[in-house]
Amino acid sequence: MAKKLVIKVTAGADAPERCSQAFTVAAVAVASGVDVSLWLTGESSWFALPGRAAEFELPHAAPLPDLLDSVLAAGRVTLCTQCAARREITEKDVIEGVRIAGAQVFVQEALADETQALVY
């Protein structure tokens, strides 16, 4: 099994099942002791802002704020630089613990030894 997991979630409220799957996999991996890096891109970028995850609803799915909190507590959450810029989100706007970084950092993480990358 990979010791590190990099997950890029591109979906938000526009594709709720895909979005929820990414956050669920990230949270389960963290709970299993895997080193997780969750990347928020596209419409999932909004979840880097305080309170936005609480607005997300999907029947029979774990609450998105709980999943996000578990990843923030034991993993890393990154907001894509370009995605943030397109939405006029800055470092002062995001939830504590969320960093903003670009494609170079994503590629570096995804290609690291003993790492599995997933895109939702």
> How confident is the model at residue 2, as a pLDDT?
61
Three-class SS string for the chain? CCCEEEEEECCCCCCHHHHHHHHHHHHHHHHCCCEEEEEECHHHHHHHCCCCHHHCCCCCCCCHHHHHHHHHHHCEEEEEHHHHHHCCCCCCCCCCCEEEECHHHHHHHHCCCCEEEEEC
pLDDT digits (tens, 9 = 90+) for 13-62: 999 999 999 999 999 999 999 999 999 999 999 999 999 999 999 999 99
> How confident is the model at residue 50, as a pLDDT?
98
